[in-house]
Structure 1
Amino acid sequence: MGVMNITRFGHAAVLVDVAGTRILIDPGVFSVDETFDLTDLDAIVVTHQHPDHLDQDRAPALLERNPDAVLLCDPETAAVVSFGTWTENADGLETTVGAVTLRGVGARHAVILPSIPRIANVGVVLSAPGEPALFHPGDTYEYAPDGVDVLALPLSAPWAKSSETVDFVQRVSPAAMFPIHDCTIAEIAYGTYWGQVSGHGGVDDSRLLGQTEQASFELSHN
């Protein structure tokens, strides 16, 4: 049975250590400073171009510390970022980094307002033989891939409401989940949001991971 170590680094930033591979997802402006000091990364994944998922001021230094990391992002982000050499991700596209397969999921960001054009958003499923599979959706509940063991769950956003969050959890039906995308929640109200999804999502292993907190997931992916 494989072990996946996950460390949160603020808001949507997640470090995944699995199968001898280190992958960082969505280092944005709400991420703690330690995010951009990380080294020995094998891949950096960006789901979309919004600043809370990619901090274009601090990310260049992160890339300098990890010159051999594979850089993977949606095609619109690849077109606008002026640093690094990025590989375009897309729905169903698989990229191999070490023993880990990174599969693109989805195409578009959730609707914020009808008057705001939707940008690209490509989530990612990380999987390796005998290891748990993790899904980070970026900013959307639209896509619910099969075979997800661990869900990085966007807990609050201008595009989301709690009933949609719970429905998304139920459709993905992971074995375990933890919150991301939560810097929009006041501390006094946090328990309300997490209580709704942990109480009604149907996931027994719901872990309330804080900033820079690490957890190990020992789940077999079938």
Structure 2
Amino acid sequence: MRITHLGHSCLLVEAAETRVLIDPGAFSDAWHGVKDLDGVLITHQHPDHLDPDRVPALLEANPDAVVRTAADVEEAVSLEGAQGVMPGAKFAVGRLQVQVVGGDHAVIHSDLPRVRNVGYLITHPEEPTVFHPGDALDTAPAAVDVLALPIMAPWSAMKEQVEFVRRFDGLKMVVPVHDELLADRGRELFARQITRLTGQEITWLRDGEPYEVNVSAPDRDISTQEFVSG
């Protein structure tokens, strides 16, 4: 498996001869022009996760890609070929299986309406399992190997990231995302404190280069994946 962080919350996951792009938003441009995608997954409608001006061109350049979004994305942006998904849904992207969890975006402020937010659990019997939660820390699937951790946001505090990471057993790798609001010194502080409090070392992938995930494939039956909601 290879994972590339393409800025903010955007990840490119390459596994089992399948390429999946998650959350191509307006806070980054490294994903512009990416081709040969088998899937594009959108956790929610906010523009830092879904660039309404550029994602249509991305989909046009990847006409065979499976496109899945939170169910209310179509209310904000019209995307050709996109299908909204709800928690509990399962679907295939190439040789990978994707399971949908979550439901709602984390509370930013009581005066602001919440939108739908879904997390994507990406699995294959011979590959590590990857979880991208979007903008919520309320659902922790079991048996995750690689966690995309939203490390800083207006809707969270570091104490919440710490408790979120602690809910996962057997994590092999924690990749920070949602980090464009942090300066380098802030990134160092968050990484140091979260590592100290959870025992999970943070792996920054900010150079935009593909990272080979060197963890063993899970020895488990992913067809019976269980989820724990907070």
What whole-Å deviation, never above 9, does each CA across 1:26-63 have from its counterpart, x for those lacking one? 0000122x302000000000000000000010111111
**Is the strand fraction higher in 1 or 2?**
2
Q: CA deviation at 1:104?
A: 0.5
Q: Which residue of 2 aligns with 1:189?
A: 186
Q: How does 1:127-142 map to 2 (within 5 A)?
A: 127-142=123-138
- Structure 2 distance, partners of 1:211, 1:85, is 32
**If the length of structure 1 is used for normalisation, what is the TM-score?**
0.94
Identity %: 41
- Structure 2 distance, partners of 1:5, 1:63, is 22
Residue segments in structure 1 that go unaligned for 5+ positions in a row: none
- Structure 2 distance, partners of 1:134, 1:93, is 16
Q: CA deviation at 1:195?
A: 1.0
- Structure 2 distance, partners of 1:153, 1:82, is 28
Q: Which residue of 1 aligns with 2:8?
A: 11
Pair 1:211–1:117, CA change in 2 (3 A): farther
Which segment is superposed worse, 76-85 or 45-54?
A: 76-85
**If the length of structure 2 is used for normalisation, what is the TM-score?**
0.91
Count of paired positions: 217
- Structure 1 distance, partners of 2:41, 2:150, is 16
Which segment is superposed worse, 141-150 or 207-216?
A: 207-216
Which segment is superposed worse, 125-134 or 76-85?
A: 76-85
Q: Which runs of 4+ in 1 moved over 4 A?
A: none
What whole-Å deviation, never above 9, does each CA across 1:161-220 have from its counterpart, x for those lacking one? 11110110111232211110000112232211111112222225x312114132111322
2:103 is the counterpart of 1:107: yes
Q: How does 1:38-53 map to 2 (within 5 A)?
A: 38-53=34-49
Q: Which amino acid counterpart does residue 133 of structure 1 have in structure 2? A: T
Q: 1:10 touches 1:211 (CA, 8 Å); kept in 2?
A: no
Q: Which amino acid counterpart does residue 137 of structure 2 have in structure 1? A: Y
2:23 is the counterpart of 1:26: yes
Q: CA deviation at 1:114?
A: 1.2
2:167 is the counterpart of 1:171: yes
Q: Which amino acid counterpart does residue 40 of structure 1 have in structure 2? A: D
Q: 1:43 touches 1:71 (CA, 8 Å); kept in 2?
A: yes
2:43 is the counterpart of 1:37: no
- Structure 2 distance, partners of 1:77, 1:201, is 34
Q: How does 1:12-161 map to 2 (within 5 A)?
A: 12-32=9-29, 34-161=30-157
SS at match of 2:32: helix
Q: Which amino acid counterpart does residue 73 of structure 1 have in structure 2? A: T
